Structure 1
Amino acid sequence: MRTLPAMTAVSRVLVYGIHGSGKSTMAARLAARLGLPWYPVDDLLWEPGWVEVPVAEQRRRIEQICRRDRWILDGAYHGWRDVPLARADVIIGLDHPRWRSFGWLLRRTLRRVASGEVICNGNRESWGSVLSTESILVWHLTGFGRERRRMRAWQAGSSGPPVLLLRHPAEVERWLADLPASAREPR
């Protein structure tokens, strides 16, 4: 296992986990704490009307961000996962139990449907999207094991950026509380 760098020396962070694990919340908190710019992945992948950006364009957008010296991304997907992996200083993996992350996702999804909350680029979740075969809830159920295995393999591997797996909300809170605030100004 690779040694984790001091977070004050980190400039490029990939936050990774299954849908509903808290990636965006973690990325936002890290950005505020470390003074790094956060690029919400959903904003890069979805156009209004839930039109998915073509994978080649997704990759171009991610490459443009990852060429920068400072960034936080809250996810990495199949068509371009290699791009942030090649540049990240560290991966923060949110490896919560299925029941916990699915519970968070279900509550969040129901809240968003009920409130009409805008998620990204004007998109909103609806009963139709929640009950479809392309539902984020279905994605969680079908992808959980694969995402967990991927994070754990990254952590056990000898190449790539070091991986910190956080497995419990209390562990997340302790780790964040121990991070020194950065004197860096966001660009």
Structure 2
Amino acid sequence: MPASPAQRIVVYGVTGSGKSTAASRISRATGLPWHSVDDLTWEPDWIQIPTHEQRDKIHDICTQQQWILDSAYGQWLDIPLARADLIVALDYPRWLSLSRLLRRSIARVINRTTVCNGNRETIRTLLAHDSILLWHFRSFHTKRTRIRQWAANPHGPTVHRFRRPKDLTTWIATLHR
């Protein structure tokens, strides 16, 4: 896959696939501004920002000429898709994304690492009915299906679908400012 002249990029994948890390790496390689979706959608104490406010924030970003989003939530997916030049799709097997998610979440609990706007993962949040671990299982099939539909759509944005982290790393190495 050749380097991309894309200026508006959505990094998309299943929960735990490494979207934020990939977006950060693409940003460093290209100089494009990266926007953390979790920071835009969660307030302290894990309070989700109302959907209409999320849509407004994402719209403001997506009207700019250059951006990278490290995800796209279903409630406002239409906004970045209407402007994206490229979707970087992390279509990794479940065992890989789930193991990454478990490793990351356990490390965050043990180290009390802060995430989006000062929030922390805890044993309680990992075992809750709306936990990120359960979300992985609830959303996995839908997200992978969506990636494959986008990749098959000749009228949508270009999709670079990566099945292995090594291939993503190789592609990022071709990017430059």
Short-chain TM bin: over 0.9
- Counterpart selection for 1:131 from 117, 127, 130: 127
Q: Which residue identity does 1:143 align to in structure 2?
A: S
Q: Distance in 2 between matches of 1:135 and 1:14?
A: 24
Quick check: 1:17–1:23 contact (8 Å CA) kept in 2?
Answer: yes
Q: Which residue identity does 1:160 align to in structure 2?
A: G
Q: Distance in 2 between matches of 1:130 and 1:6?
A: 38
Percent identity, please.
49
Secondary structure (helix, strand or coil) at the match of 1:44 reads: helix
Q: Which residue identity does 1:128 align to in structure 2?
A: R
- What are the superposed Cα offsets for residues 160-182 of structure 1, whole Å, 9 maximum, x if unpaired? 20101001011112111222x11
Query: Does the alignment pair 1:145 with 2:132?
Result: no
Which residues in structure 2 correspond to 1:28-177 (within 5 Å)? 28-177=24-173
TM value normalised by structure 1: 0.92
Q: Point out where structure 2 has 5 or more consecutive residues left out of the alignment.
A: none
TM value normalised by structure 2: 0.97
Match of 1:185 in 2: none
User: How many aligned positions are there?
Assistant: 177
Q: RMSD in angstroms over aligned alpha carbons?
A: 1.1
Secondary structure (helix, strand or coil) at the match of 1:49 reads: helix
Q: Point out where structure 1 has 5 or more consecutive residues left out of the alignment.
A: 183-187
Query: Whose helix fraction is larger, Structure 1's or Structure 2's?
Result: 2
The runs of at least 4 consecutive aligned structure 1 residues that moved more than 6 Å come to: none
Secondary structure (helix, strand or coil) at the match of 1:62 reads: helix
1:6: Cα distance to partner? 4.7
